[in-house]
Structure 1
Amino acid sequence: MPKRSNFRPLFLVLLHVIMVLSETPLAPALYVFGDSLVDSGNNNFLETTAVANYKPYGIDFPLGPAGRFTNGKTIMDFFAESLGLPYVPAYLSLSNDEKSKVATGVNYASGSAGFLPERGTALRLYSIGSRKFVVFKMGPLGCLPAIVNSANRKPNTPCIEAVNQLVIIFNDKILETIIKLRGDLENSTFVQGNIYLSSYTTNLEPCTFGFTAGRSICCVVGGNGTTTCLQNQTPCADRTKYIYWDTFHPTEEVNRQTAIGCFSGRSPCVPLNINELAQRQ
């Protein structure tokens, strides 16, 4: 099973928007970089134990256990639907011929990986035409069941605040980088997704957002509550009432609520939502 320290809820989305003559899609392509929160199956093709290509993963996804680390859709799947695009394929799932022909975006995210929006990386992406970026800050790692359970805290402990304080310091550095890049890269637009605040609030007030199961884990896990889902075990019946699918990852319902807020609401994505970003000239 993957180590706890390898899961870092930080990812970046590129809306590669160009002028097209066709109707419908708000953006012609969506490119995704990140970790297991947005992996659409790349880890299926790697020599790693961090995989989600078995049941009960994907129990609510149309294609079944395709490699997404949740019960259904990721945030990127919801973004693709809202933009009028097909689900973004995992890069490693494509043949060489498909890689050269795909036009609606590619997902490079990989479970247990991380993507740091360093200046050099952004400059390289900018140099090949990227102009619209969405950078999601790191979520409250100290609230993950795997972290709380490994610390042997009381059952009702929502978060390990010492861990969250480190995340806050890291997120402050991300913001500094975004501000610098905004000034340096002409005609670029950066949107930040503050999932730290939204996720933290959800963990402290689950019932407010409809998660009546609280911080219980939906699927059956091992390691005293510190692993991913055990294979072929029956998960909870009503996944919409749970925040956590396994000890590291949220349920589809959490992803849905986050995606809706980010795409058309005023939070967690600022200063623009994804819809406004896609339509920005």
Structure 2
Amino acid sequence: MDKGGVVTFFFLALICFFRVSESAASTAMFIFGDSLIDNGNNNYIPSIAKANYFPYGIDVGIPTGRFCNGLTVTDYGARYLGLEFPPPYLSLSSGTAAILRGVNYASAAAGILDDTGRNYGSRVTFNGQIELFAKTLMLQLPLLIPNSEALSQYIANSLFVINIGSNDYINNYLLPNLYTSSRTYSGDEFAQLLIANFATQLEALYKLGARKMLLVGIGPLGCIPSQLSINNSTGACVERINELVMAFNKRLVPVMLELNSTLPGSFFVYENTYDSFYDIIKNPSKYGSEER
């Protein structure tokens, strides 16, 4: 897959975000999610979901804990906005000024549901990431921005990137030998369960002062290598899995619109990664890649 195409979609979402938003430019980025944007938090916890060894990081010469060759899409997003890369939360010492550029709380194997990803050992769940942000807000940032009004404005002007939900499928619902969710809920019921929890979590971030939130939808999980190796030896996308994901994504958009209309001062933007990635997979030549 062409990384340039993936990064372009993220940049387009950012451009849309700031063209529509009339508020001040963001001065910091706070990142929540899973392995797609984890930049090293799992290096510090007992988990088998780690990326601190080669070939991870091969493009930059050293493994950092990012689950990619070099930089994540949020790293490129920070660079596009003229921001320094937000450090992984678990790497920070108390009172460090580095948090003024934002913090990355993302943790590989994390999900919307607390139970998700336990097959990998420790991980910081989305609820746990929100708790860590609350700690940053209540205990660490006031040491650097002691004026409460200035701190509130700093948080309101910051960009919150949230990319979560994939593991709730690939490391929960689609592992029936380890989790009961697929026997308890239909695909639509599970999507609704995730959405209900997700909406509550987004409201929790809002109550902590977050206003600009970029919500990244779940991509076509039926097309990723792990699911192809388990479910389809032909290399064709597993549409049954993609349909599960679409049940979540189609529910996320109206929730986003409702939050925008009911939470004063909020600005939520949805990034439709599903259609973007699916088009790359189905039409690689459009993005400068050859079909294999």
Alignment TM class, shorter chain as reference: 0.5 to 0.7
Matching residue of 2:172:
none
The TM-score normalised by the length of structure 1 is: 0.63
Whether the 8 Å CA contact 2:86–2:99 is kept in 1: the answer is no
Matched, 1:71 2:65: no
Matching residue of 1:102:
99
Matching residue of 1:190:
268
Matching residue of 1:46:
45
Whether the 8 Å CA contact 2:38–2:65 is kept in 1: the answer is yes
CA distance in structure 1 between the aligned counterparts of 2:36 and 2:52, rounded to whole angstroms: 14
Give the RMSD, CA atoms, in angstroms.
2.3
CA distance in structure 2 between the aligned counterparts of 1:158 and 1:93, rounded to whole angstroms: 40
How many residues align? The count is: 191
CA distance in structure 1 between the aligned counterparts of 2:23 and 2:248, rounded to whole angstroms: 33
Matching residue of 2:32:
33
The TM-score normalised by the length of structure 2 is: 0.61
Whether the 8 Å CA contact 2:38–2:66 is kept in 1: the answer is yes
Matched, 1:151 2:231: yes
**Counterpart code for 1:151:** N
Matched, 1:90 2:88: yes
Whether the 8 Å CA contact 2:214–2:269 is kept in 1: the answer is yes
CA distance in structure 2 between the aligned counterparts of 1:207 and 1:146, rounded to whole angstroms: 23
Matched, 1:204 2:282: yes
CA distance in structure 2 between the aligned counterparts of 1:70 and 1:158, rounded to whole angstroms: 23
Whether the 8 Å CA contact 1:18–1:28 is kept in 2: the answer is no
Matched, 1:162 2:240: yes
Q: Report the Cα offset of residue 124 of structure 1.
A: 1.9
Q: Report the Cα offset of residue 101 of structure 1.
A: 6.1
**Matched position secondary structure for 1:134:** strand
Whether the 8 Å CA contact 1:158–1:203 is kept in 2: the answer is no
**Which structure: greater helix fraction?**
2
Q: Report the Cα offset of residue 97 of structure 1.
A: 2.7
Q: Gapped runs of 5+ residues in structure 2?
A: 1-13, 112-163, 166-194
Whether the 8 Å CA contact 1:89–1:106 is kept in 2: the answer is yes
Matched, 1:113 2:191: no
CA distance in structure 2 between the aligned counterparts of 1:164 and 1:89, rounded to whole angstroms: 33
CA distance in structure 1 between the aligned counterparts of 2:104 and 2:224, rounded to whole angstroms: 25
Q: Gapped runs of 5+ residues in structure 1?
A: 1-12, 20-25, 216-281
**Counterpart code for 2:231:** A
Among the aligned pairs, what percent are the same residue? 40
- Which of 1 and 2 has higher RCO (CA within 8 Å, sep 6+)? 1
Q: Report the Cα offset of residue 60 of structure 1.
A: 1.1
**Matched position secondary structure for 2:269:** strand
Whether the 8 Å CA contact 1:158–1:204 is kept in 2: the answer is no
**Matched position secondary structure for 2:102:** coil
